[in-house]
Amino acid sequence: MKAEENLLFIGKDTEEENTIMDELKERGWGITSISNIRNIKGKRLPKHHDIGVIFLTMPYLEDASIFENITNGIDVRLIAVVDETVLKDIKRHQSIARLFFGFHLRPVDIDRLHYSLENLLSIIHMEQSLQESVLHPSRIEGEMVGNSRVMKALFKAIHKVAAVDAPVLIQGESGTGKELAAKAIHGQSSRNDAPFNAINCGALPANLIQSELFGHEKGSFTGATQRKIGIIEHSDGGTLFLDEIGDLPLDMQVNLLRFLENSTIQRVGGLKEIQVDLRVLAATHIDLEKAVEEGRFREDLYHRLNVLQIQVPSLRDRGEDITTLAHYFFKKFSGEKPLIVNGFSKESLSVMLLYEWPGNIRELINRVRRAMVMSEHPLIRPADLGLERRHSTSRYASSLEEARDQAERSVVMASLTRNTFNIQNAARELGISRVTLYRLMEKHQIQRKCDSKGEDDKENPKIESQGKILAFTGLSKGKAES
C-alpha cells in the first residue's frame, strides 16, 4: 500500500474508535473522520476517498431506507463494523450484505481490518486501471481524443451503456462526433464482433428510405430487378446507428416503431416476417422533445429510442482538449504538409482556445489540414487557420460598446479556458471576485452544462440560462468575496 492512502472514517468520537484510527494511521492510512454519514450529503470532503470504514449504530439500521439512499449516493466503498447481535436479525443482515463491501465484528482486530482495506483498495485500483485501459482516449473507437472533465464523463458513460443492450439516444451539435460515440459503444459491447452499420436518415431520398432500411423483393417496384437486403436485416446480430433520426419522415417512423416493438421486418413487396436481432443507437442534433410537441416526431418512437442517453459535448466546452486535438490531427495528417511545417505557434493555440468552434470537431479538422498545407512558416500562424485575433469572437462589432463587450467576453473566456472553468482560479487570475465573474459569465452567456448542481450553485442560484442550470465542478466551497 502506498503511504497515506485516503480513508473515510465514519463513527462517533469514542475511545475505541480513536484507538482504531490511531493504529490505522500508523499503518499508513490518511484518515478523514466524520461523526455521522448524513453529514456527507452536500459536503465537499477535503480529499478524494475510494474506501471507508463505518461504525454501524442502531439509528442507522432502524431508519434503513434513508440510510440506504445516503449510502448509495456516495462514491465510497464502505466496510462496516458491527456488533454480533446485529447479524441475528435477518433483515439487518441482508442490508449489510447489500450495502457494504465487507464487515468486521467488535471488538475489531486491527490487522484483519487493515488487510481487508488493503485488499478492497487493490481491487478498486485494478478496476480503475482496467477502466483507464478501456477508456483511454487512444483506445476509444475512432478519434475520440480528450482528457477534459466532460470527455472523461463521456467515456465513462459510454462504458456503462455499452454493457447493456438497450437503445441509446446520442445527442449533440453537428460535428461533435456522435457517430464516433456510437462506434465506441458498439466496440465495447458484446456485439463488437458483429456488423456496425450507420445510415443518415436525413440524407436519403424519401422514396428510397423504406427500401434502404427494410430491403425489397425483386419486382416490388419499377427498377427492383433483384432482391435487396435492407440495412436493418444486414445488421442482424450487431448494431444499427440511425444518424439524424429527427429527419425521418413520419410514415417511416411508424415502420421503425413497429420493428422496435416486435423485432421483425417485412421487405418492400414481401409478405414474410423476418426476425432481426440488433441494437439500435440513434443520434440527433435537434431537440426531439420539441419536435414531439410540434408533431414532427412520434412520441411513442421517442420513448422507444430514448431509453439511455449520451450527450456529446461541443468543442467549445472541452477546454484544453482543443489543443490536444489540434496536435492529434496535425500528427495524423502530417503526410500532407510541407517539410518546413513543424507545429503550431503559441498565438495559434491561444486563438484556437478563444474561438467558439461552431462547426466543432469537423471544423477543427478542416482548419488544421488547410493550415498544414498552406502555411509557409515552420509554425502555423492564426492567419493560416483563418482565425486571426479579430476573428476570436463569432461576429464583428458594429459599435464601440459592442467592441468592448466582445473584448471583455474574450478575456473572461480565455481565463476560464486556461483554468478549465475553475471559477476560483479564474477570478483570482482576473483580479475580480467570484460573484463578479459569475455576473460577467451571465452577461456574456458563458455556460458550462452539467448533470447536477455543483457547490457553486448554492452560492449563486440565479445563474440560469434557457432553463438549464449552470453547474461548475472542481471548486472549493467558501464565502465569496464581495
The CATH number linked to 76 is 3.40.50.2300
Q: Which three cell numbers stand for residue 283?
A: 443520434
Q: Is residue 209 part of a domain?
A: yes
Q: Is residue 270 part of a domain?
A: yes
First vs last Cα of the chain: how many Å apart?
45
- 295 and 161 share one domain: yes
Domain total for the chain? 4
Helix (H) or strand (E) holding 81: strand 77-82
Strands 77-82 and 264-265: unpaired
Distance CA 6, CA 337 (A): 49
| Radius of gyration over every alpha carbon of the chain, rounded to an integer in angstroms | 28
Q: Is residue 482 part of a domain?
A: no
- 374 and 451 share one domain: no
Among the ranges given (227-231, 249-253, 445-449), the one the predictor scored with the smallest mean pLDDT: 445-449
- 307 and 320 share one domain: no
Show the DSSP H helices in 266-375 as ranges.
Answer: 288-293, 299-305, 321-332, 346-354, 360-374
234 phi and psi angles, rounded to 5 deg:
-70, -20
Q: Is residue 142 part of a domain?
A: no
Q: Which three cell numbers stand for residue 104?
A: 468486521
Among the ranges given (130-139, 249-258, 287-296), the one the predictor scored with the smallest mean pLDDT: 130-139
Q: pLDDT digits over 285-328, tens only?
A: 889 999 999 999 999 999 999 999 999 999 988 887 898 899 99
pTM (global) more than 0.75: no
Q: Is residue 138 part of a domain?
A: no
- 438 and 459 share one domain: yes
Q: Which residues form the domain of 297?
A: 149-311
Residue whose C-alpha cell is 453529514 = 39
- 357 and 294 share one domain: no
Q: Supply the pLDDT for residue 378.
A: 87
- 197 and 300 share one domain: yes
Distance CA 482, CA 476 (A): 17
Other CB atoms within a 10 A radius of the CB of residue 162 amount to 20
- 428 and 374 share one domain: no
Q: pLDDT digits over 21-80, tens only?
A: 999 999 989 888 887 776 665 455 656 778 889 888 766 666 666 666 666 667 788 898
Angle at 200 between CA 194 and CA 206, to 5 degrees: 125
- 237 and 368 share one domain: no
- 111 and 161 share one domain: no
Q: Is residue 141 part of a domain?
A: no
Asked if the model's pLDDT at residue 234 lies above 80, the reply is yes
- 155 and 297 share one domain: yes
Question: Is 129 within 8 Å of 123 (Cβ atoms)?
Answer: no
Other CB atoms within a 10 A radius of the CB of residue 227 amount to 14
Q: pLDDT digits over 94-128, tens only?
A: 778 777 888 899 899 999 999 999 998 888 787 66
Out of 372, 391, 410, a domain closes at 391
Asked if the model's pLDDT at residue 420 lies above 80, the reply is no
